[in-house]
C-alpha cells in the first residue's frame, strides 16, 4: 500500500463528516470496489474498544494496512466525539499501518454517524486492506449497521443476560458472529449458553450463514485468533455467495440518513405556530416545507 498522508486524510474525513445534506448529495459517491468492512457493535461496557485494538493486531499479521472508524457519542459542548482516538486505542497509535479515526454520532439516531458511507468511500480509496467499524453502543437500534458492513460482530460480556432479553427482537437477530468478551470472568458460560439456545431455535435455510459464537478475553489476548479465523471464514462464504451489502442497500441507507437530517433541519426552522392545530395539518406543512427546501446550498 502507498503511504497515506494521514493529515490530509483526516482533514478530508472532517470535511465529509461536516458536509451538509446538500453537499453530501452533490458528492453522490458510493463505494464500488470495496475492501472488507467488519462491523463491531454491542452494549456499552462490554470492552469493544479493547477488543478491536487487540483484534487489529491479530488481523495485521496477514495485511499491510487497516483502518478503524470508531463512532462515539457527541459532545454537547463541541459537537465532536467525546472519546478521542488516542484515548480509545493508545496501543495502536504508533503503528503507521493502522489509521484510527473517531466520529461523532451528531444527529444520527442509529448508532452510526452522519455521511458515514461517504467517509468509508474515502477510506477505501486511500487503499486500506480492511475497515473495522465500531458503533457507538446504543443497543437495540444499532441494526442499521447491518446494511453497511460485510461481517457483523456482536460483542457481549458476563452480566449481559438482561441485555440479551432486551435485544432479542432487534440487533441480536442480525450478527454473523457473537463474541463473549471477558470470558475469563464468572458468568461467561451462562451468557454463551443463552446465545447458543437462541441460535439453536432459530430457523434458517441451509444456504444461509449460521451465526458462530466465540469466547475471548481481549485483556489476556485469548481467543482472538479464533475470532479472526471466524471473520475470515465469513468473508470467504460471502465471496462464494456473491458479496455483502449491495449498492442498493448502501444507497437506501444514506438516503434514509439524509432524509432524516433534512427533516430535522426543516423542523428546527419552522415557526412555533406552524406546529399548532391538527397534527395531520402540521405534518403536511412540515412535508411541504421540506419539499420546498431544495435549492443548492440549503443543507
Q: Kindly state whether residue 297 falls inside one of the protein's structural domains.
A: no
Do the domain assignments include residue 50? yes
> Phi and psi dihedrals of 237, rounded to 5?
-65, -40
Residue 67, SS3 per DSSP: strand
207 and 266 in a single domain? The answer is no
Asked whether residue 298 is domain-assigned, the answer is no
Instruction: Say yes or no: 175 and 273 in one domain.
Output: no
Q: What is the mean predicted confidence (pLDDT) over 149-178?
A: 77
One domain for residues 141 and 233 = yes
Task: Reduce the DSSP state of residue 155 to 3 states and report it.
Answer: strand
> Do residue 281 and residue 146 come from a single domain?
no
- Residues 260 and 216 grouped into a single domain: no
**Does the residue 299 lie in any domain?**
no
Same-domain pairing of 85 and 195? yes
- Are residue 148 and residue 17 in the same domain, yes or no? yes
In a domain, 286, yes or no: yes
In this model, does residue 43 exceed pLDDT 90?
no
Q: What is the pLDDT of residue 13?
A: 93
pLDDT band, residue 171 (cuts 50/70/90): low
208 and 255: one domain? Answer: no
- For the chain, how long is the longest CA-to-CA vector? 63
Q: Is 116 found in the same domain as 258?
A: no
Grid cell listed for 63: 495485511
Would the pLDDT of 82 be above 80?
no
Q: Compute the mean pLDDT over every residue in the chain, rounded to the nearest whole number.
A: 80
Is the residue at 1 inside a domain?
no
Whether 32 is in a domain gets the answer yes
Q: Nearest 5°: CA angle at 31, between 73 and 141?
A: 35
> Looking at the 3D structure of the chain, how many domains does it have?
2
Are 277 and 178 found together in one domain? no
- Is there a domain that residue 205 lies in? yes
Phi/psi of residue 154, nearest 5 degrees: -105, 125
Give the pLDDT score at 228.
97
- The boundaries of the domain holding residue 179 are 6-249
CA distance 272 to 280: 16
Share of the chain above pLDDT 90, in %: 28
CATH number at residue 68: 3.40.50.300
Half-sphere exposure of 128 (CA within 13 A, CB side): 28
Q: Which long-range contacts (CB under 8 A, 24 or more apart) does 207-211 make?
A: 209/176, 209/234, 209/237, 211/175, 211/176, 211/177, 211/178
Residue 141's pLDDT band (cuts 50, 70, 90): very low
Q: Are residues 263 and 126 in the same domain?
A: no
Residue 40: closest CA among 240, 251, 201, 230: 230
Domain boundary pick from 233, 249, 265: 249
Confidence of residue 143 (pLDDT cuts 50, 70, 90): low
Same domain assignment for residues 229 and 278: no
Amino acid at each position: 500500500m502507498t503511504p497515506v498522508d494521514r493529515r490530509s486524510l483526516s482533514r478530508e474525513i472532517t470535511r465529509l463528516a461536516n458536509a451538509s445534506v446538500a453537499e453530501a448529495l452533490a458528492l453522490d459517491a458510493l463505494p464500488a470496489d470495496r475492501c472488507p468492512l467488519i462491523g463491531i457493535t454491542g452494549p456499552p461496557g462490554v470492552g469493544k474498544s479493547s477488543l478491536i485494538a487487540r483484534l487489529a493486531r491479530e488481523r495485521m499479521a496477514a495485511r499491510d494496512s487497516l483502518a478503524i472508524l470508531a463512532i462515539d457519542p457527541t459532545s454537547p459542548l463541541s459537537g465532536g466525539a467525546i472519546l478521542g482516538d488516542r484515548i480509545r486505542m493508545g496501543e495502536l497509535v504508533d503503528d503507521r499501518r493502522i489509521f484510527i479515526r473517531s466520529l461523532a454520532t451528531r444527529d444520527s439516531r442509529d448508532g452510526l454517524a452522519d455521511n458515514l458511507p461517504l467517509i468509508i468511500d474515502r477510506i477505501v480509496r486511500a487503499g486500506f486492506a480492511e475497515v473495522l467499524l465500531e458503533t457507538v453502543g446504543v443497543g437495540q437500534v444499532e441494526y442499521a449497521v447491518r446494511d453497511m458492513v460485510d461481517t457483523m460482530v456482536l460483542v457481549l460480556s458476563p452480566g449481559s443476560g438482561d441485555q440479551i432479553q432486551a435485544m432479542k427482537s432487534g440487533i441480536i437477530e442480525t450478527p454473523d458472529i457473537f463474541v463473549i468478551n471477558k470470558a475469563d470472568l464468572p458468568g461467561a458460560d451462562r451468557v454463551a449458553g443463552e446465545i447458543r439456545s437462541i441460535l439453536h431455535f432459530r430457523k434458517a435455510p441451509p444456504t444461509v450463514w449460521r451465526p458462530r459464537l466465540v469466547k475471548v478475553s481481549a485483556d489476556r489476548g485469548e481467543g482472538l485468533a479464533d475470532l479472526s479465523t471466524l471473520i475470515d471464514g465469513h468473508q470467504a462464504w460471502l465471496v462464494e455467495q456473491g458479496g455483502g451489502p449491495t449498492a442498493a442497500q448502501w444507497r437506501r441507507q444514506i438516503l434514509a440518513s439524509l432524509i432524516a437530517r433534512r427533516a430535522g433541519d426543516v423542523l428546527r426552522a419552522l415557526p412555533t405556530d406552524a406546529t399548532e392545530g391538527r397534527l395531520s395539518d402540521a405534518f403536511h406543512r412540515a412535508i411541504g416545507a421540506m419539499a420546498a427546501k431544495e435549492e443548492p446550498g440549503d443543507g
